[in-house]
């Protein structure tokens, strides 16, 4: 099997640790263990025997996660090494060569590349900026065929930060029901809302729904590499058997911390900390875009640590990203990574000071480019 390059991750992996101002992160500035565990919990952690543990996740952790999804129980939960492993297991387990998958764009492109590498035909539908990053319904239904096995969504969305409205959710669920196909939803940004309402989960809207979640984005605990899948009991058991061939289990340290983080009141404390950071940085981003409204436009994200900006000057997005990195030591994600040139994804989950410095350096490059005209 030959895999295609995962352009977004390959680009970030090459350069994110070699620049002064990394504005490619889609999460939120990470918490430390000291911030989230008390002295007794740290002592308990230090005395934790580092065995394998239960390979599908501890009973305690699965029960805690199931409580976040009404109608779920621990048998509906599989703990994974980040949502990346969750995506891999779903593609490997639910799709066969020759199947077709309907895929939301723009999107985190891991599942797109995996499916194509597995011999799956990927049929995209697009969120439209002119519709405030909602789908155009008439584009989706014609994509269905007898070979369609799954619809894949990312909600809240990476890179736009948009959240599907109730009408869009109902339409997509109805399409999946009528075709009797799987609906797989990446919900890693749930909890990182910039609006008052928490994003509703697709879980429970249909009996063939599987969703993922994790600690990397809304909970700002990227380094724990802990995610989960929520789905029907039989499919979760099957996915668990597939994980015997991948990583076997997640680390006990990560499970220990997750079981504390996902319980009240610590869960609410972390989510509140992160939302306040995002709201403050979004104000900075809006002010900066307004200053450059002749060059940039964006629809304010509803969730997540990202802003997706469209620009209106003649330069390829990868070229612009390279110029920023090489000339100003600032790294942003080019829209090319999502198949959308003339866009940039800028992380707003970083420290306020780093965001301000990074934007000031982007100002410098823009001025230099304009002076060359």
Secondary structure (DSSP) of 37-90: --HHHHHHHHT-------TT--HHHHHHHHTTSTT--GGGEEEESHHHHHHHHH
Going by CATH, does the domain composed of 7-31+267-366 fall within 3.90.1150.10?
yes
State the Cα–Cα distance between residues 324 and 175, nearest whole angstrom.
Answer: 43
Q: Let me know: does 83 contact 216? Beta carbons within 8 Å.
A: yes
43: Cβ–Cβ under 8 A, 6 or more apart, which residues?
A: none
- Spell out the domain ranges in the chain: 7-31+267-366, 49-263
What's the pLDDT score for residue 373?
61
Residue 319 has phi, psi (to 5 degrees) of -65, -40
Nearest of 358, 332, 326 to residue 24 by alpha carbon: 332
What's the pLDDT score for residue 200?
97
Topology of 49-263 in CATH? 3.40.640
What's the pLDDT score for residue 370?
78
Dihedral of alpha carbons 227, 229, 233, 235, sign: negative
Rounded (to 5) percent helix, strand, coil in the chain: 45, 15, 40
DSSP type of residue 219 = T
Q: Let me know: does 105 contact 124? Beta carbons within 8 Å.
A: yes
Task: Give the global pTM.
Answer: 0.96
What's the pLDDT score for residue 73?
98
What's the pLDDT score for residue 4?
86
Residues in the chain with pLDDT values less than 70: 373
Helix (H) or strand (E) holding 213: strand 209-214
Residue 369 burial (10 A CB sphere; 0-12, 13-18, 19+) = middle
DSSP characters for 127-158? EEGGGTSEE-HHHHGGG--TTEEEEEEESS-T
State the Cα–Cα distance between residues 164 and 133, nearest whole angstrom.
Answer: 8
């Amino acid at each position: 099997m030959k895999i295609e390059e995962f352009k977004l991750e390959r680009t970030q992996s090459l350069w994110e640790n070699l620049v002064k101002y990394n504005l490619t992160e889609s999460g939120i500035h990470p918490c430390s263990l000291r911030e989230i565990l008390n002295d007794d919990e740290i002592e308990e952690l230090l005395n934790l025997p580092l065995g394998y543990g239960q390979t599908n996740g501890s009973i305690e952790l699965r029960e805690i996660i199931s409580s976040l999804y009404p109608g779920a129980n621990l048998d509906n939960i599989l703990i994974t090494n980040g949502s990346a492993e969750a995506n891999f297991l779903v593609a490997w387990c639910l799709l066969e060569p020759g199947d077709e998958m309907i895929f939301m764009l723009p999107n985190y492109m891991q599942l797109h590349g995996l499916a194509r590498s597995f011999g799956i035909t990927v049929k995209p539908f697009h969120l439209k900026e002119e519709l405030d990053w909602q789908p155009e319904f008439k584009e989706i239904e014609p994509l269905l065929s007898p070979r369609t096995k799954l619809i894949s969504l990312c909600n809240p969305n990476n890179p736009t930060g948009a959240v599907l409205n109730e009408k869009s959710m109902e339409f997509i669920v109805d399409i999946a029901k009528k075709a009797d196909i799987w609906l797989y939803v990446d919900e890693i940004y749930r909890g990182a809302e910039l609006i008052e309402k928490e994003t509703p989960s697709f879980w429970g809207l249909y009996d063939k729904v599987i969703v993922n979640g994790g600690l990397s984005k809304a909970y700002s605990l990227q380094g724990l590499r802990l995610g989960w899948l929520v789905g029907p009991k039989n499919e979760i058991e099957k996915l668990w058997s597939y994980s015997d061939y991948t990583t076997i289990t997640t680390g006990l340290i990560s499970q220990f911390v997750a079981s504390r983080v996902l319980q009240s009141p610590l869960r609410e404390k972390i989510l509140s900390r992160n939302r306040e950071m995002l709201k403050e940085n979004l104000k900075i981003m809006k002010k900066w875009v307004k200053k450059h409204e002749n060059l940039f436009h964006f629809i304010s994200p509803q969730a997540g640590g990202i802003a997706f900006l469209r620009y209106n000057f003649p330069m390829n997005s990868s070229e612009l990203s390279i110029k920023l990195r090489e000339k100003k030591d600032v790294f942003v994600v080019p829209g090319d990574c999502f198949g959308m040139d003339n866009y940039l994804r800028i992380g707003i989950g970083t420290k306020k000071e780093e965001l301000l410095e990074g934007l000031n350096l982007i100002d410098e490059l823009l001025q230099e480019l304009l002076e060359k005209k």
